[in-house]
Structure 1
Amino acid sequence: MKIATWNVNSLNVRLPHTLRWLQENQPDILALQELKLDQDKFPETEFTRIGYHAAWNGQKTYNGVAILSRQPLEQVTIDIPELNEPQKRIIAASINDIRIICAYCVNGEAVGSEKFAYKERWFAALNAYMRSELAQHPKTILLGDFNIAPHDIDVYDPKKWQDKVLCSPQERSWFQQLLQLGLTDSLHHLYPDSAHYTWWDYRMNMFKRKLGLRIDHILLSQSLLPALREVQVDSTARGWERPSDHAPVMATLA
């Protein structure tokens, strides 16, 4: 089983990229973030045409998430119930006996800002939500754009990014709190000493210079960890014309 995540940074712009990537890589499940589409604008027929079921939680501007699956999606839920906020950042669905939770986590703007304080509250709500989901669904995968680089090896220049948003000790502690619920960072689990980036700033040729951050993750519950075989970042898609600033990440489970 191949399970992937990709922040497409506008599905309207990147629909051809998404369809091309699906057809070239044939994942069983693809979680999408930052759709930037209203609920009624989601191109469902484009995905059903190539064999994918879809569930989505749409929103114009900077949010919106979706799950695409070869198998039917069941028990679909949206948002974090306790949070009661307008931003569309969460969608969950069951596929056979596996619970898939797609998250587009808050960026935070800058350490110490109001948006950073909101990011802290949002991760606290995500933690409580995941505790409940894991209690109900032993086989759970939380994946998406976390807007956190968990370790120095996930940053091209740790000194430059020290104490900055995405890399601050506070954010890394929030990420660790998720892992303490019984989740494992799949790529870091397999390659703890290797640098793998999933996001590159559009400015200053950061992608061509290989200066990126790893902020997109696939977290597995303990019951799924023995099935993990491979995790890879497909940086090829980042080099396409008019690309997303993120690359897809795909995990292979037996």
Structure 2
Amino acid sequence: MSDTTVTIATYNVNGIKARLPRLLEWLDETRPDVACLQEIKTQDEGFPADAIAEIGYQAIWHGQKGFNGVAILARGEAPVEVQRGLDGEPEDEHSRYLEADVFGIRVACIYLPNGNPQPGPKFDYKLRWMERLTRRMAAISAAEIPAVVTGDYNVVPTNQDIWDPRALADDALMQPQSREAYRRMLNAGWTDAIATHNPRGGVWTFWDYQAGAWPRNHGFRIDHALLSPELADRLIASGVDKIYRGREKASDHTPVWVRVAR
């Protein structure tokens, strides 16, 4: 970590066992201070903590067999867990939320439900989950904590965030209800870091494995980093590590990062 900045990244790895070489490669090449992972797709006991520790990262994780799963990694400091899972639905056993304190910043790693097919129970669950997340973000805001809520939101915020809005017009990622729930987070005072530095859009974080999406650059932006007012004031830079989508056996997502003043 720099004496003056902290870099916080998010990466939907789409299976940590299958992508472990790519994950370690990215961590070694870019050295973020904090890395939030989604879709680790492993039970807690299967998480490769030793391999990650060998390159200098300590980790906490919230796993689930074959699906979902989130983790927070930090270089040079152990993340201190604050909360796992969101309040509001005790029967919800999906591993989609993990929150920790690290380097004086509250870091929440999320894997928001996809919601397809819509309409239907999965879309209803997505919207309820977003409501629960919004309540948690309000509690963090009320404490005036420098915070970032980052991960795979499974929401394309605007038509500027996809190569062709018609391509996903009926998808849960672009429905008015999904977008309105995302806007409510911004209206509550949270800052979309990538949108702040790319006001004209045109920045993608996901390219499907199907239909030649990657070589044709048919992507969209669903991986976001939302900063609380206390942290947004310290925002220096943000970006997308696009090249990692082109690596062999890559995830269909690519890393997103923000750099803030210490």
Structure-2-length-normalised TM-score:
0.94
Q: Does 1:27 align with 2:32?
A: yes
**Count, aligned residues:** 254
Aligned to 1:9: 14
Shift of 1:122: 1.0
CA distance in 1, matches of 2:172, 2:35: 27
Q: Which one of 98, 108, 131 corresponds to residue 91 of structure 1?
A: 98
Q: Is 2:239 aligned against 1:227? A: no
Alpha-carbon distance between aligned partners in 2 of 1:175 and 1:19, rounded to the nearest angstrom: 31
What is aligned with 1:185?
192
Aligned to 2:135: 128
Indicate whether 1:113 and 2:117 are aligned. no
Select between 24-33 and 42-51 the one with higher mean Cα deviation: 42-51
Matched, 1:47 2:52: yes
Residue 16 of structure 1 aligns with an amino acid whose one-letter code is P
Task: Return the offset for 1:161.
Answer: 2.5
Q: Which amino acid aligns with 2:47?
A: F
Give the TM-score taking structure 1 as reference length. 0.97
What's 1:76 paired with?
82
Distance 1:96 1:2 in 2: 10
Q: Secondary structure at the match of 1:109?
A: coil
The separation in 2 between residues aligned to 1:175 and 1:28, in whole angstroms, is 27
1:73 and 1:93 in contact (8 A); partners too: yes
Given candidates 196, 199, 203, the residue that maps to 2:206 is 199
After superposition, what is the alpha-carbon deviation per residue over 1:157-203, rounded to whole angstroms, capped at 9, x for unaligned?
01332343211111000101111222110010111113100011100
Answer whether contact 1:55 1:76 (CA < 8 A) is retained: no
CA contact (8 A) 1:98 1:137 kept: no
Secondary structure (helix, strand or coil) at the match of 2:217 reads coil
Distance of 1:60 and 1:78 partners within structure 2: 16
CA shift at 1:96, angstroms? 3.2
Measure the CA separation in 1 of the matches of 2:160 and 2:87.
Answer: 34
In structure 2, distance between residues paired with 1:224 and 1:130: 14
Question: Are the counterparts in 2 of residues 163 and 169 from structure 1 also a CA contact under 8 Å?
Answer: no
User: Does the residue aligned with 1:166 lie in a helix, a strand or coil?
Assistant: helix
Query: Partners of 1:96 and 1:20 in 2: how far apart?
Result: 23
- Report if the CA contact (8 A) 2:245-2:253 is conserved: yes
- 1:66 alignment partner in structure 2: 71
Q: Identity rate of aligned residues, in percent?
A: 38
CA pair 34-41 structure 1, distance change in 2 beyond 3 A: same
After TM superposition, list the pairs within 5 Å mapping 1:132-147 onto structure 2: 132-147=139-154
Q: Is the CA contact (8 Å cut-off) linking 2:146 and 2:228 kept in structure 1?
A: yes
Q: CA shift at 1:137, angstroms?
A: 4.8
Q: Indicate which of 244, 249, 258 corresponds to 1:251.
A: 258
Secondary structure of 2:220's aligned partner: coil
Counterpart of 2:3 in structure 1 is none
One-letter amino acid of the counterpart of residue 77, structure 1: Q
The DSSP-based 3-state class of the residue aligned with 1:224 is helix
1:242 corresponds in structure 2 to 249
